A and B are shown apart, each in its own frame.
Chain A
Amino acid sequence: GAVVSQHPSRVICKSGTSVKIECRSLDFQATTMFWYRQFPKQSLMLMATSNEGSKATYEQGVEKDKFLINHASLTLSTLTVTSAHPEDSSFYICSARDMGGVYEQYFGPGTRLTVT
């Protein structure tokens, strides 16, 4: 099946610094990728939809200047958490939509961000 990778899997950073998370589709091209956030024992919350070559579409309540998304190629999207604060600590998951066939979404393994 299709594989989506995320890097890093875990990151600890100090308050005020920025962190970049990469999401790659390894064996298919994805014109659309999605970024989710998940709190403990909660379901996934969609943060934004990332389209290759254009600006991301953010969900209501998500600060676009804080969560910068770049989708520069058909296999890579990045999420940068700028000026991170402890409340940004969370599990971030990306997914990529395979546009061939049934438009199935494949999910990455997630990135655990801890801001101290």
Chain B
Amino acid sequence: KQEVTQIPAALSVPEGENLVLNCSFTDSAIYNLQWFRQDPGKGLTSLLLIQSSQREQTSGRLNASLDKSSGRSTLYIAASQPGDSATYLCAVSASGYSTLTFGKGTMLLVSP
């Protein structure tokens, strides 16, 4: 059974810092991996999707990498801003037709 772990569970940084969120998964046979953002009381916003054949994806200040063989992904946030404060969730899919397995998330607080 796939298990997804996210470290750290919570992170507090001052504005402007570059930071890395970690995600690991136990079964390397994944189809894709998605990073989401969730604001309190809101739904999930998809940030980046990495196919199993890809090594990384970038969107603005966000960069996600994938090392499928070692079962790891990182989300890099450059020049963090208070508006980046949210919970970040990592999820993997075993195939295009399967459900997502979520980690428990990293709660990020960026202080001005």
Contact = CB atoms under 8 A, between A and B. Distances in A.
Interface of A: 1, 4, 6, 32, 34, 42-44, 46, 49, 91, 93, 95, 102-110, 112
Interface in B20-60: 31-32, 34, 36, 41-46, 49, 51
B112 interface: no
B73 interface: no
Contact of A102 (B32, B89, B104): B32
Given A102-B32, A104-B34, A110 B102 contact: no
Contacts of A102: 32, 49, 51, 96
B96 to A, nearest CB: 4
B43 A107 contact: yes
10 contacts: A1-B46, A4-B43, A43-B104, A46-B99, A91-B41, A93-B44, A103-B96, A105-B46, A107-B43, A112-B41
Interface residues of B, number: 22
B104 A108 contact: no
Given A43-B89, A43-B105, A49-B99, A105 B41 contact: no
B100 interface: yes
Interface secondary structure of A, over-half rule:
strand
Contact of A103 (B32, B42, B46): B32
Given A34-B99, A103-B31, A105-B34, A93 B93 contact: no
> Top 10 closest A-B pairs, CB basis?
A103-B96, A107-B44, A109-B43, A110-B43, A43-B104, A107-B43, A43-B102, A108-B43, A44-B102, A104-B49
Nearest to B107: A41
